[in-house]
């Protein structure tokens, strides 16, 4: 049954015009029309892309925060080894040999070796990074230590000497499927102690 004139806004007994009938059909189709499949697919793809980017940003920020914590812990481990060398005694006037008493070159290192050409002691130590862990999921780091004797001025007797202590802390970081290695370096120059009270 077709629309009456009253439904189309006509007078009671007036027949609707063709224009009014076409307008009503066009309007009813627009009101009943929904989204097409292509529009739904495109909208879903856009939403998935946006949420995927947001989740990826959260993952990347978490990884960078974890890496920063490992790096700070490794730097602290290198500085700890430097402080151990700084607290050692190096007294040119003490001891029985010509070089005096030197605890700097007697640090507790694994695989200690000496290169007479460069006057360098070298070795390494291992320790756990100071980051939160549970049970056995700790991270081991290796401190590669080198102690080199440097003559600053050979014109004086005895010559002015310093020792350069360098620590390279190597630590692993698991990123995706790769186990990457990073290095933090700390170095300092040590002058000998003056333990002769008559020279002060």
Domain that holds residue 127: 42-199
How does residue 53 score in pLDDT terms, banded at 50, 70 and 90? very high
Residue 24 belongs to some domain of the structure? no
Q: Is the pLDDT of residue 10 over 60?
A: no
Total tally of structural domains belonging to the chain = 1
Percent of the chain whose pLDDT exceeds 70: 74
Asked if pLDDT for residue 14 goes beyond 70, the answer is no
On whether the CB atoms of residues 39 and 151 are closer than 8 A, the answer is: no
Report the SS3 class of residue 49.
helix
Residue 72 forms part of a structural domain = yes
Residue with tokens 């790096």: 71
Q: For strand 110-115 and strand 101-102, is the pairing parallel, antiparallel, or unpaired? A: unpaired
pLDDT digits (tens, 9 = 90+) for 126-178: 999 888 887 788 889 999 999 998 888 777 666 778 889 999 999 999 887 88
More confident residue, 199 or 126: 126
Res 108: pLDDT: 85
- For residue 122, being part of any structural domain is answered with yes
Would residue 177 count as lying in a domain? Answer: yes
Q: What is the pLDDT of residue 73?
A: 92
pLDDT at 189 over 60: yes
Q: pLDDT value at position 131?
A: 85
Q: Which long-range contacts (CB under 8 A, 24 or more apart) does 188-192 make?
A: 188/82, 188/85, 188/86, 188/164, 189/150, 189/162, 189/163, 189/164, 189/165, 190/85, 190/86, 190/90, 190/104, 190/162, 190/163, 190/164, 190/165, 191/162, 192/90, 192/91, 192/92, 192/100, 192/161
Average pLDDT, the chain: 81
Q: How many CB atoms lie within 10 A of CB 16?
A: 18
pLDDT on residue 200 = 46
Instruction: Read off the pLDDT of residues 17-37 as tens digits, 9 standing for 90 and up.
Output: 666 666 666 655 555 556 778
Q: Is residue 20 part of a domain?
A: no
Give me the DSSP letters along 154-167. Answer: SSSSSPEEEEEEEE
pLDDT at 5 over 80: no
Asked whether residue 9 is domain-assigned, the answer is no
In a domain, 17, yes or no: no
- Residue 159 confidence (pLDDT): 72
């Amino acid at each position: 049954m077709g629309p009456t004139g009253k439904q189309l806004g006509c007078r009671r007994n007036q027949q609707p015009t063709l224009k009014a009938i076409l307008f009503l059909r066009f309007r009813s189709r627009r009101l009943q029309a929904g989204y097409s499949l292509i529009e739904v697919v495109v909208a879903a793809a856009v939403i998935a892309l946006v949420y995927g980017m947001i989740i990826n940003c959260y993952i990347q920020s978490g990884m960078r925060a974890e890496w920063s914590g490992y790096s700070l812990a490794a730097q602290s481990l290198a500085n700890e080894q430097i402080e151990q060398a700084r607290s050692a005694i190096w007294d040119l006037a003490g001891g029985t040999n010509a070089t005096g008493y030197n605890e700097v070159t007697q640090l507790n290192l694994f695989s200690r070796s000496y290169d007479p050409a460069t006057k360098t002691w070298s070795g390494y130590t291992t320790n756990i990074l100071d980051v939160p862990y549970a049970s056995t999921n700790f991270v081991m780091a290796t401190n590669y230590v080198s102690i080199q004797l440097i003559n600053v001025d050979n014109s004086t007797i005895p010559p002015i000497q310093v020792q350069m202590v360098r620590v390279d802390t190597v630590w692993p970081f698991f990123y995706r499927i790769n186990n990457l290695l990073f290095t933090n370096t700390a170095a300092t120059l040590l002058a000998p102690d003056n333990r002769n009270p008559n020279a002060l």
